[in-house]
Every structure is written in structure tokens, then in C-alpha cells.
Copies of this chain bind each other. A is one copy, B any other.
Amino acid sequence: MDEFVQTVKDLLETHQWQELKGLLAPKNPNDLAHIFAEFVPSERAVLFRLLEKQEAVEVFESLPLEEQQELLGSFKQEQLREIVEHMSPDDRAYLLDEVPAKVAKRLLGLLTPEERAATALLLGYGENTAGRIMTPEYIDLKSFVTVGQALEKIRRVGLDKETIYYSYVTDEKRRLIGIVSIRQLVLADPETPVTDIMEQDIIFAHTDDDQEEVAHKMQKYDLLAIPVVDREDRLVGIITHDDVIDIIQDEVTEDIYRLGAVEVPEQNYFKSRIMVVSSHRLGWLLFLLVANTITGNIIIHYSDLLESVIALAAFVPLLTGSGGNIGSQTSTVFVRGIALKEITAKNALRLIFREVWVGLFLGALLGLIVIIWAYWLQGNWMVAIAVGFSLILISTLATFFGSIWPLIFQRLGLDPAMVSAPFISTVVDVLGALTYFTVASFILSYAR
């Protein structure tokens, strides 16, 4: 790869366009998109002009949105028209959605009336809906055709369609009544009516379904494509398998960011400006900062106790830290369990109980270790016992709150992933400090 990039750079510098053209032509569009990332925008624009039209369109579709936008400015009018007109309608709608309104208008002006209509249709649906990511390029069959006529139609129009693996059978009102795979068509006798072999138990999506739900449905049923119907059950598009993985990856990135207490940015984090990035982190930080003050106030409240037995202070970070860690572990597996639908309304209570048992068990184990560890460090049995006993309580509380908070968030209609490690650590810090000082006061007053 690196060697290839170097060769391209050399040829670019020495203006050997023909050699470059020959070098780029046999490459896969996805590989080219990756290779292009190694060049500065002006070089990239030159390389683009050396590609065949179809190849250029495919490379362009494979580029990240930011690079697409950057390139748009460097195209000549004619080339721009060719690229944008030949993009698939869903990719084009996504691009038009994100460029400044002025650019979008200019791009729309370059399209043929039909292409414009197809794009406008997609742009009419809400963001993140099935309608927005579907393509109107599918093969539909009338209900009265035979297998032979269907294959004939696929041969005639197939090359233009994003997927020909399924064909959709519609009635006279354009309502979807069945699906045939090309597999079934190829395996069947040409004289058979398609209605005889079509699957009537159709799995489909509505235009206003959330794209994540559609992705999960396609994953659940292992579908290569899913048909999308409007409110009158008329077929309006299909969503293909290559969109599913992208949606799932986006969704997972969202969950991971939230688990790290970062608000989900609209653009790629690493390509946003510092101010934008900071603003996505400030909200949680301020909230948690205030919450952390509570822990501080608890410490101040018990300053007499701390002053009388200074050894107690040495274990505050250990206890609040361990509590936060146990709570984070719990909330992490619960958030993921909810996302993967392993935790349901039915088993939630049992799993919370189970988790609290885990907390008690971990707390007992760590508590024993900590008693010995604390005595060895500070040489005070009373303090060591207070620390160990507190850890058992804190660990149990941490698993309880770590498991119940994500479920509460879900019940409130919020994303359970918002129960981040920092969030749960802060909650458990407060509880941990309170528990520790209460236990320590009790044990020490008893000891005196």
C-alpha cells in the first residue's frame, strides 16, 4: 500500500498522467478511497479526474462525508454533474442533506428531472428513518408475470438497480404482495407464475421506522434487503445489506461515547473543531463536578472524625474508587445487555438480584483482603475493620445502583448508555463516603 502511494506521488509530481491512469484503473474503488486519504485535497482532485466515470462515482460514494464535501468544490461543472447524477439516490440524499443549502441547490440543479424526483422523495423523510436510507432502485414485478418473464425483465433493467437479489411483486395499486429471490427464480421452471413461488410472509419496514430498528430486523432475519412501504402499504424503496453494518457501527459508537460520558457528536469527533468537541464534553463534566462537591462536603462534615483518626483518610480513595469501579462494571454489562435485548422486562428483576449477589460476594472477598491490607498499612485494627466492612456494603450498593440506573433510564425513555462509568462512579462516590464515615463512626465509638 505505502509503496503504491509513493509510486502515485512520484507519477503525480512528474505529470505522467497516462501511467497514473493505468496504475489506478485496475484498483478496487474501496481501496482507492483509502489510498486517496493519503493525498492532499488538490492532489486528490487531480487523481479523481484520471478515473473512469463509473469508477469515480464508486470511489466518491466510498469517501467519508467530509472528504466528499471538500472534493465537490474542486470539480468542474460537467464532472460534478456526472458524479452526482450517477450516485445512488440514498447516498446522494445523504450528501445533499449535509452540504450547505446553496451547494445542495446547485447540485440538485445538475440532476435530470427523474433523478431529482428520486432524491427529493428521500429528502422528504425524517433523519434516521428508513425512508431516508432506502433506495428507490429496485425490481418490481406485476403479479401476472411468469418466472421466465421475470428473468427477462431482470436482464433488461437489472444493471441499473442497486440489488437484483430480490424482486418485489406488487398488485395493481402498487401494494407489496410478495417477494421472490433471484435464487428462487433461477431454480424454478420458466413457465411458473411468480405468484406460485413468491414468499407471501413478507418482512418489511415502514418509511418512518427508525433506521436502527430496521437494521436489527435485517440482522435478525439475515436479510440481504428489506422492502420499505408507505402508510398505504405501497412499495416505495428497499434498504440493502451494506447499510446495515454501517448503522450498527454508528449505533455502537453512540453507545460507547455515552458510556464514556461524551455526548454524541453529529460529525466525526476527530474531524470536528476543538470548540465543538469541548462543548460535547462540558455538560456531563459540569454536572459531575457539582455532584463531586457533595462527596467533598461529606468529607468536611466528618472532619472531626478524620482529624481524630487520621489513618481513616488514607482509605477514602480506595473505598470510593473500588465502589466506582464495581458500579462501572455492573452498569457496563447492563447497558450492553439492554442493547442486545438480553435484559428484558421479564428477567430484569432476577438479573438485578443476581448482580447484587455478585456485589456481595466480590465485596466479601475484597473486604477480607482489604482488612489485612489496611492493617498492614496503618497498623490499626479498628480502622482496618471499618474499611473492610464498608467495602462489603459499598460493593453491594454499587452493584444495585449500577444495575438499576440503566433500567430506570430506559423506563424514562432515555438511552441507558447515558449511565456512563463517570456517572455511576460519582453516584457511588457519594454513597461510598457516607457509608464509610457512618460505619467508621459506629465502630470507633464502640471501640472507645
Bound form: Cα–Cα A320–B296 in Å: 11
B310 with A303: CB separation less than 8 A: yes
A421 lies within 8 A of chain B by Cβ: yes
Q: Which residues of B sit under 8 angstroms from A446, Cβ to Cβ?
A: none
Q: Which residues of B sit under 8 angstroms from A365, Cβ to Cβ?
A: 278, 282
Name the CB-closest residue of B to A281. B329
Bound form: Cα–Cα A35–B270 in Å: 43
A324 lies within 8 A of chain B by Cβ: yes
Name the CB-closest residue of B to A221. B30
A102 lies within 8 A of chain B by Cβ: no
Bound form: Cα–Cα A205–B343 in Å: 36
A11 lies within 8 A of chain B by Cβ: no
Name the CB-closest residue of B to A354. B274
Q: Which of B187, B224, B315 contacts A158 (CB 8 A)?
A: B187
Residues of chain A from 243 to 260 with CB closer than 8 A to chain B in the complex: 244-245, 248-249, 252-253, 255-257, 259-260
Bound form: Cα–Cα A253–B198 in Å: 38
A439 lies within 8 A of chain B by Cβ: no
Bound form: Cα–Cα A164–B343 in Å: 36
Q: Which of A42-50, A118-126, A285-293 is found at the contact surface with chain B?
A: A285-293
Looking at chain A's contact residues, the main secondary structure is helix
Bound form: Cα–Cα A286–B318 in Å: 11
Q: Which of B154, B253, B314, B433 contacts A336 (CB 8 A)?
A: B253
A193 lies within 8 A of chain B by Cβ: no
A interface size (C-beta, 8 A): 106
Name the CB-closest residue of B to A313. B299
B300 with A316: CB separation less than 8 A: no
A416 lies within 8 A of chain B by Cβ: no
A408 lies within 8 A of chain B by Cβ: no
Bound form: Cα–Cα A329–B283 in Å: 12
A332 with B154: CB separation less than 8 A: no
Bound form: Cα–Cα A248–B251 in Å: 12
B300 with A318: CB separation less than 8 A: no
Q: Which of A107-115, A231-239, A355-363 is found at the contact surface with chain B?
A: A355-363
A418 lies within 8 A of chain B by Cβ: no
Q: Which residues of B sit under 8 angstroms from A362, Cβ to Cβ?
A: 278, 281-282, 285
Known: A248-B245, A270-B351, A285-B325. A183 touches B201 (CB 8 A): no
Known: A155-B186, A333-B269. A300 touches B310 (CB 8 A): yes
- Mask, A135-164, CB within 8 Å of B = 1, is 000000000000000010011001100001
A325 with B422: CB separation less than 8 A: yes
Q: Which residues of B sit under 8 angstroms from A422, Cβ to Cβ?
A: 321, 324-325, 328-329, 421, 425
Q: Which residues of B sit under 8 angstroms from A307, Cβ to Cβ?
A: 307, 310
A322 lies within 8 A of chain B by Cβ: yes
Q: Which of B154, B262, B333, B354 contacts A260 (CB 8 A)?
A: B333
Name the CB-closest residue of B to A215. B245
- Mask, A329-346, CB within 8 Å of B = 1, is 101110111001011000
27 of the cross-chain contacts (CB-CB < 8 Å) are: A30-B222, A151-B186, A158-B186, A165-B224, A182-B182, A222-B242, A252-B256, A256-B336, A260-B329, A260-B333, A261-B325, A261-B329, A274-B354, A278-B358, A285-B329, A286-B369, A288-B321, A289-B370, A291-B321, A295-B321, A299-B313, A299-B316, A300-B311, A300-B313, A300-B314, A317-B433, A321-B425
Which 10 A-B residue pairings sit nearest by Cβ, starting from the closest? A260-B332, A421-B421, A295-B317, A292-B321, A296-B314, A222-B242, A325-B422, A292-B318, A300-B314, A252-B252
Q: Which residues of A contact B (CB under 8 A)?
A: 26, 28, 30, 151, 154-155, 158-159, 164-165, 182-183, 186-187, 201, 203, 219-222, 224, 241-242, 244-245, 248-249, 252-253, 255-257, 259-262, 268-270, 274-275, 277-278, 281-282, 284-286, 288-289, 291-293, 295-297, 299-300, 303, 306-307, 310-311, 313-318, 320-322, 324-326, 328-329, 331-333, 335-337, 340, 342-343, 347, 351, 354, 357-358, 361-362, 365-366, 369-370, 373, 377, 420-422, 425-426, 429, 433
